[in-house]
Amino acid sequence: MEKSLILIKPDALQRGLAGEILSRFEKKGMKIVAMKMLHMDRKLAEQHYSIHKGKGFFAELINYITSSPVIAVVLQGKSAVEVIRRTLGETDPAKASPGTVRGDFGLDIGYNLVHGSDSIENARKEISLFFGTDELVDYSRDIDRWIQ
């Protein structure tokens, strides 16, 4: 089963949407295998978003993601990266389909509620930024046999 990282961003926490967002992933069959709330410092934020370094919006992105706590979550499931990305919807909420997290709750491309890893390789890297291997919990659920 694939693992992927999501970050429930400051705007989602400030708007009281964390539970609703997590619920959507669980309803899609994703299993939470690690979760923690943290206030990202600049160093971690710059590591996580290093792919955007040098872009015009980088400083604003770092200021935003460090402005308030986030919830880091590792989800596990069949085709986790793809399922999570589809559940999130387009990065720009104005283009996101109804029924997706961003389509239903997103207000602005700069405040788009949730980060989701965009590939299996990036998921591995991102998970290791936020969690040690000893923090990932392996467990079975009775429902797992029904959602293969």
Helix (H) or strand (E) holding 13: helix 10-14
Catalytic residue among 39, 48, 52, 115: 115
The answer to whether the CB of 26 falls within 8 A of the CB of 84 is no
The answer to whether the CB of 117 falls within 8 A of the CB of 126 is yes
Burial of 90 (0-12, 13-18, 19+ CB in 10 A): middle
The answer to whether the CB of 5 falls within 8 A of the CB of 116 is yes
> Among this protein's residues, is 52 annotated catalytic?
no
The answer to whether the CB of 49 falls within 8 A of the CB of 11 is no
The residues assigned a catalytic role are: 115
